[in-house]
Structure formats: structure tokens, C-alpha cells
Amino acid sequence: MKSNVKVRRQQLVERITNKFNVRDGFILLIGGFESHTHFRQDSSFFYYTGVTEPGCFATIDLTGFTTLYVPRYAINRSLWVENHVVADDDTAQALGVDKVVYLGNPIAGYALSSCFDAASVQTLIDVIKKGINNNQSIYAILPVSFYHDKQTWFALQRLLTFASALSEVCDVSSHVAQMRRCKDKDELVCIKKAVLCTQQAHEEAMFVVEGGANNEREVYNALLQQFIADGATEGYTSIVGAGHNATILHYTANNAEIKNSSVLIDAGALCDGYVADITRVYCSQSFTKEQEEIYQLVLDAQQYAESLVKPGMWLSNKNHPDKSIHHCVVDFFAKHNKEQYFYHGIGHYLGLDVHDVGSYADSLQPGDVITLEPGLYLRDKAIGVRIEDNYLVTDNGFECLSSEIFK
């Protein structure tokens, strides 16, 4: 991982120097902040640093020299959390950065929140101010909106306000997204590991459903137990929806009686920072004739969608509907008078995030990892079917990464 992030940082530097025709400046990266109950590192920060410690920042100058800034705590943080990062040369070498320094004055408690004050990040503020005074350009990943990433948005705005640099930052989000879209071989190893963990969890859930589970929570528990047994966690809150609940796209209560109905399970493991996203429908008894017809139609739609996957096609593009997988699948359902029951997109990018970065205005490229997830939801009949798999786009077509999961 250490060598990978160094290569990625250098590639980002090359993109920026070529795009903006500059040779002086630095890239500013902002890590995630922890709460008392949960922390997951900002995906782009992890992609370029491999660092999982909360409350960190990094700068990469346009020679590639990388400095990691870590909070200075007034207490012994190692008493509270594992793998605490300290500022010394051994840490820099272990993390594959050139230098690790403290952000500023000691802070109370054991966590730096996004509500930091100037004194807690003064070292980084001074770096930004010095860069501005020396006419250096500053490049950062700007959140799409406040609602896209509240913590990063707030932290960036507050930091730049302290440094009087609100109008001095160039957005490089699109360059980062282009890099993250194309998965390297080590990323694919992680994604395939997440898919395998998900396969095993789905198998356990299927056994519970087919064994006559009475409540969705029994199925959900089987998923969680298998994730934990494999050293994984949920990549997102799993969906276990029986009957009418299967028609609710983001249903997560997972506590209703099953009553011999079919059960839609949308679940994906998170392994080594990368996530899978798989959906299947299981039943303890035989499908009714109508359920079977709907299931087969969705399966046929997925197989049709698969046949369209190749570089040059789009996941969704209303301006080129004949080359848009989504629009082609809508037309497929329309031939069966069912298009009104398919009311979400055909798929999305997948990687460090379950809905990974990448522009849908661009056509598919080799190295993209995507989902294909056609579904039909007949709410008045309490029938919900979605079949979702994960795919690697190759030079000539695709590789289904989840083909071993029973359908």
C-alpha cells in the first residue's frame, strides 16, 4: 500500500502540473474526523496516503514532497485508541510520507473534531499563508456541496478562513475522480476480497431464509455474523426486506415478520477500505407464478445489460440513449409493459465508496468497476425484485466479479 500511494501522489502531481501549467504550489488533502461511535477515513485521503488516523491533513508540493499533519493531544491518545500516529521520522517512513509534523497546540480530549480552532491547526495555517505570500497555487478536493460531505466542507471552509485563503484554492476533484475510477491491480484484489466476503454472507443469509426464518432480523444477523467472521464490516447498512418491504429501495429497519414471503437482500462487505454491493432475492418456499415471472424478467434484463457493457458505452446518458445501458434497460422493460416499476438507475461506480466517484458524463473505460442492478417493484402486490452484481470493465467487455453468488 505504501508504494501505491506514493505512485498515486506522483500521478496526481503530474496531472496538476500538466493541466494548470504550474511548477510551484501544493495540494491540500483533508482526512475525516471521528465521532464517539464511528470513524471511516475520507476515501480520497486514504487513496493518496493510506493513513487511517482521524483528524489528519496532508500537503503534497509539486515536487511530490508529502507532509502529514497530525493532531497534538494533551493526553495520551494511545490509552483510548489503537494505532495512534505520532510525529517522528519512524512514522514518516512507516507511512510512506516524507515528513510528519504536529498541527498546532495541544488539544483537550483524545479527538480533533471538525470544529477545531485556529490554535489546534496553526502549523498548517502558517503553511497556507506562506504559500499565498509566495504566490503558490493551492489545490484541494472541494466537496460538491455542503450536503455531499459535511465534515470536509466545514473543515475546509474553517481552515481557509483562518488562513485568509478562501479565493486561493483550485478544485481538483475531477482529476481525483478520474484517477480513482480506474482501479489498479491491488485495488481489484481488495474489491474481489470484499465480493468473496459478501458471497459467503449471502450464502449464510440464504440458508436462514430457506430454513424458514420468521423475522428479517434473523437474516440480518446471519449477514453480520459472517461479515465479522471474515474480518469484514458492512460497507453500508444492509437491506433485508420481506414482502412489501422489498419495494422500499432504502429499507433498513430489518425487523419485520417474513410470513413465507420472498426476501430481498442488498448487502456488501467492506474489506481493506473497499466495498462490494450485491443484491439477491431468496424464498423459503417456491415463488408464486407472478413472482417467478417478475424475477425472470429482471434476470433477463440484467443479462441484457451485461451484453452492453464495454468501453464507449455509458451507464446513463440521455443524449445517447442507444449507447446508454440505463435507457436500453428501460426500453427492455417497456416491451413488457413494466418500465413504470423500474424507478432507479441501472448502476453506479464502485470502489472505496459504495457509490464511488466518477463522472456519468463520461463513457465507460477499462478499469472501471460498476454495478448493474435492474429491479421491478410492484407495491400493490408486495413484490420487489432486484438483482445486482459487480463488474470490471475490460478492454473488450467485462468481468463479472460476483458471478459465483447464487441467483
236-246 tens-digit pLDDT: 999 999 999 99
Averaged pLDDT for residues 198-220: 97
pTM of the complete model: 0.94
The answer to whether 265 touches 281, Cβ cutoff 8 Å, is yes
- Distances in Å between the Cα of 371 and the Cα atoms of 65, 109, 268, 312 are 36, 42, 12, 17
C-alpha grid cell, residue 107: 488539544
- Report how far residue 153's alpha carbon sits from residue 172's, in angstroms, rounded to the nearest whole number: 15
CB distance 377 to 405 below 8 Å = no
pLDDT greater than 90 at residue 101: yes
* pLDDT at residue 147, as a whole number: 52
Residue 29 to residues 44, 46, 57, 67, 240, Cα–Cα distance (Å): 8, 10, 6, 10, 37
Class of domain 185-400: alpha beta
User: How would you class 327 by CB atoms within 10 Å of its CB: exposed for 0-12, middle for 13-18, buried for 19 or more?
Assistant: middle
Is 146 a residue whose pLDDT tops 80?
A: no
> According to the model, what pLDDT value does residue 272 have?
95
Contact 149, 334 (CB under 8 A): no
pLDDT at 34: 85
Q: Is the CB of residue 371 less than 8 Å from the CB of residue 391?
A: yes
pLDDT of 155 > 60? The answer is yes
Cα radius of gyration (the chain): 23
Which regions of 344-382 does DSSP assign to beta strands (E)?
Answer: 369-372, 375-378
Average pLDDT over residues 276-280: 98
Q: How confident is the model at residue 392 (pLDDT cuts 50, 70, 90)?
A: very high
Cα–Cα distances in angstroms (integers) from residue 91 to residues 64, 75, 101, in the given order: 18, 19, 10
Residue 376: closest CA among 341, 346, 334 = 341
The residue ranges of DSSP E strands in 166-321, in sequence order, are: 169-171, 233-234, 239-242, 263-267, 269-271, 274-275, 278-282
Whole-number pLDDT of residue 144? 62
| Helices and strands of the chain, counted as H and E runs | 10, 17
Q: How many residues does the chain have?
A: 407
The pLDDT value given to residue 72:
94
For the domain spanning 2-181, the CATH number is: 3.40.350.10
Share of the chain above pLDDT 70, in %: 98
Reported as a single tens digit per residue, the pLDDT across 258-270 is 988 999 999 999 9
Q: Calculate mean pLDDT across residues 65-87.
A: 89
Q: Across all residues in the chain, what is the average pLDDT?
A: 94
Beta bridge partners of 242: 263
Would you place residue 148 in the very low, low, confident or very high pLDDT band (cuts 50, 70, 90)? low
Yes or no: say if 25 and 62 are a contact pair by the CB < 8 Å rule: yes
- In which element (H, E) is residue 30 found? strand 25-30
Listed in sequence order, the DSSP H helices in 21-121 are: 43-49, 89-95
Distances 169 to 29, 160, 173, 195, 302 between C-alpha atoms, Å: 12, 9, 12, 38, 43
Q: Residue 138 in contact with residue 131, Cβ under 8 Å?
A: yes
> What's the average model confidence in pLDDT over 99-118?
91
The mean pLDDT value for 28-34 works out to 93
CB 145 within 8 A of CB 128: no
Return all residues near 335 (Cβ < 8 A) that are at least 6 apart.
none
333 and 385 in contact (C-beta within 8 Å)? no
| Residues of each domain in the chain carrying CATH 3.90.230.10 | 185-400
In whole angstroms, give the CA distance from residue 89 to residue 329.
55
Residues of the chain with CATH 3.40.350.10: 2-181
What pLDDT, on a 0 to 100 scale, did the predictor assign at position 1?
A: 61
The sign one gets for the Cα dihedral 356, 359, 360, 364 is negative
CA 147, 150, 153 angle in degrees (round to 5)? 105
Confidence of residue 2 (pLDDT cuts 50, 70, 90): low
